[in-house]
Amino acid sequence: MTTVDDLWYLADVASQQAEQTYHDLTERHDDFVEFTRHRRVPRPRFRSVAEDARDHGAPYGAHTLTYRPSGDLLLVRHEGVGKWVLPGGELDGGETFREAALRELGEEGGIEATIEGLGMLGRVEFHCDGNSTWGVLPVFEARAETTTAVVDDPDHEISAARWFDELPADTRDRDEILRWRDRRFD
């Protein structure tokens, strides 16, 4: 007997919400770096990201490219992925992407900042057992108002926060961040 579940339907609804979220963001912002990532994930993870994409279009929440006037960028060390990453994370309750990005920046880096626009917009495609869906990854550019980095991460995933003039080799999304930086500071 073949078991039929609702994963295909969930994936379809998630893709529709991602499409709407993508259009909402691109209508309000311009001059940002776009990129695409492909992920093969196990079934439980596929369901989880599809549910998040269904709810707001962004399975990884919102992140920030936080910079100082010198051009230094803030990165945080994420122990779960073993890399330096941009501060960010999932939305809590009814938060907007901007609110979530600023809250996560405060938790993961201890930095207050002013969002100046959308710096990057990712499309993350997920595949599992013949099912596919996708979600957006909004990354806002933000000018730092405070510059002393302090980690106060309630999830205990972030072990350090530092300003970088030169990005470390083990920076997640390094090429896209450098493309943004070249556009922003050259």
Q: What residues make up the domain containing 53?
A: 7-185
Look at 3 and 110; give whichever has higher pLDDT: 110
* 8 A C-beta contact, residue 177 and residue 65: yes
Tens of pLDDT, residue by residue over 82-136, are 999 999 999 998 999 999 999 999 999 999 999 999 999 999 999 999 999 999 9
Closest C-alpha among 123, 101, 135, 115 to residue 34 = 123
d(CA 18, CA 9): 14
Residue 152 has a pLDDT of 86
Q: How many CB atoms lie within 10 A of CB 93?
A: 6
Is residue 2 a part of any domain in this protein? no
Q: Is 112 within the bounds of a domain?
A: yes
Residue 31 lies in a domain: yes
Kindly state the helix (H) or strand (E) to which residue 116 belongs, with its residue range.
strand 113-128
- Our CA angle for 160, 162, 164, nearest 5°, is 145
Residue 24: other Cβ atoms inside 10 A = 14
List, in sequence order, every residue forming a beta bridge with 37; answer none if it has no partner. 124
Domain total in the chain = 1
pLDDT higher than threshold 70 for residue 38:
yes
> What pLDDT, in 10s, does the model give residues 85-94?
999 999 998 9
What integer is the mean pLDDT of 126-147? 96
Pair type for strands 33-40 and 113-128 = parallel
Eight-state DSSP code of residue 121? E
Inter-residue contact 182 to 176 (CB < 8 Å)? no
Q: State the pLDDT at residue 4.
A: 53
Residue 95 lies in a domain: yes
In-domain check, residue 157: yes
186 or 6: which carries more pLDDT confidence? 6
Let me know if residue 1 belongs to a domain.
Answer: no
Q: CATH number for the domain including 104?
A: 3.90.79.10
Question: Residue 185 has what pLDDT?
Answer: 83
